[in-house]
């Protein structure tokens, strides 16, 4: 009698089943079992998967917003950054202007200096997110095995 085992135990982060590839193994009862072969996932594929997860995490962090020293929350999604960039340019051009802005708590009036400070803080935050991602990419690229790639901690150290 032939039994089919789908796969021996393996770590799906570093190995995968080979489609339609089986080895015959005695089952100890006079029969044969077919055991699906597994193969290591190429290091380049493991790195690419880890970098894809890293990019998604950076995007999530980048768009999560910041809290200013005065406790006010500033959104950092793409639309908010675009609007802030336009307001920043206006603030640079007209330093004496007051700017009405809609915040999470309602309307606020900001000086041009405040708009510039907010824009600088958002820019610094976004850059820090990209810097963290680039540092982690370097760690992933330096890892010499799939296990080492997965050991790179992409979840911590974010601004």
Q: In the prediction, which pLDDT does 2 show?
A: 56
CA distance 145 to 16: 15
Q: In the prediction, which pLDDT does 3 show?
A: 59
Helix ranges (H only) for 26-152 are 43-62, 78-93, 112-142, 146-151
- Provide block-wise average pLDDT over 10 residues at a time, the chain (159 residues): 66 89 78 85 97 98 96 95 97 97 89 98 98 98 97 97
Q: In the prediction, which pLDDT does 36 show?
A: 83
Q: In the prediction, which pLDDT does 6 show?
A: 62
CA distance 95 to 146: 54
Q: In the prediction, which pLDDT does 32 show?
A: 79
Q: Are 72 and 114 in contact (CB under 8 A)?
A: no
The residue among 126, 136, 127 whose CA lies nearest residue 157 is 136
The residues, any chain, with a CB within 8 Å of residue 67's CB and separated by 6 or more, are 73, 74
């Amino acid at each position: 009698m032939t039994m089919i085992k789908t796969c021996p135990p393996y770590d799906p982060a570093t190995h995968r089943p080979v489609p339609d590839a089986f080895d015959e193994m005695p089952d100890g009862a006079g029969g044969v079992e077919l055991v699906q072969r597994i193969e290591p996932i190429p290091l380049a594929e493991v790195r690419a998967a880890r970098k894809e997860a890293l990019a998604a995490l950076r995007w999530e962090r980048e768009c999560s917003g910041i809290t200013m020293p005065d406790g006010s929350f500033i959104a950092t999604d793409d639309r908010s950054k675009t609007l802030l960039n336009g307001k920043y340019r206006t603030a640079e051009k007209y330093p004496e202007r007051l700017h009405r802005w809609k915040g999470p708590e309602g309307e606020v009036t900001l000086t041009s200096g405040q708009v510039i400070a907010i824009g600088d803080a958002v820019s610094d935050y976004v850059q820090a997110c990209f810097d963290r991602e680039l540092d982690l990419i370097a760690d992933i690229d330096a890892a010499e095995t799939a296990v080492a790639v997965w050991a790179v901690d992409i979840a911590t150290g974010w601004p």
